[in-house]
Amino acid sequence: MTPMYTLYYSPGTASMVVHLALLEIGAPHELRLVDVDAGAQRDPAYLKLNPRGVVPTLVIDGRPLSESAALLMILAERHPESGLAPAPGTPGREAWQQWIVYLSNTLMSTYRFWFYPPELGSAEHTPEVRAALQRKIEGVWDLLDAQLSASGPYLLGREFSGADLLLTMLMRWSRNMPRPATGWHALKRLADLVRARPSWQRLYEIEGLSGW
């Protein structure tokens, strides 16, 4: 079967949510590993697809597209039967869009500074900068845990959506922080639900991931 999509990915990175979405959809796709540790993201051939030299890149109908949150939204729109997003024009869809943008603008951008100190101008964070970034990330967990506690177990209430895939991927990135996201009760409940899904378990097999 001819692949509908080609995903350039690196295990456990921001490509994870796109890979999960493809597995949820069940659409034919091809995976191409970008060995970040070996610097493959800076290969001229890859830079033609993704001038920023990051993953993921998803090729759709010969067109390379990037930004994991945007790719999740594109896939949800192209495959409405997948249940990754509520129907257009509904309050659920509007809430879904809100959470996708919120997670991208707050957590993903802050994580970038947490994991890559040189982007803030130093080889390592000062204790003050590290503490400030930690407070910002934990503030997001506080807000999301309150949302899930009041209206969960998922971001949209009783119904799973692609926003929960994005959130759980971002929760996973906190696993080695001083207080991981699973230290919040409602967040852990959501993570457990998502990690029990066949797509999550299949991705771990394919990408060779283990643990949390």
pLDDT in tens, 157-172: 999 999 999 999 999 9
Residue 130 and residue 148: Cα distance in Å, rounded?
27
- Whole-angstrom CA distances from 106 to 60, 129, 150, 176, 212 are 27, 16, 21, 19, 22
Residue 3 pLDDT level (bands cut at 50, 70, 90): low
Strand partners, 120: none
pTM of the model: 0.96
Residue 211 and residue 204: Cα distance in Å, rounded?
9
Asked if residue 2 has pLDDT above 80, the reply is no
Given this model, what pLDDT does residue 211 score?
87
Residue 132 and residue 187: Cα distance in Å, rounded?
22
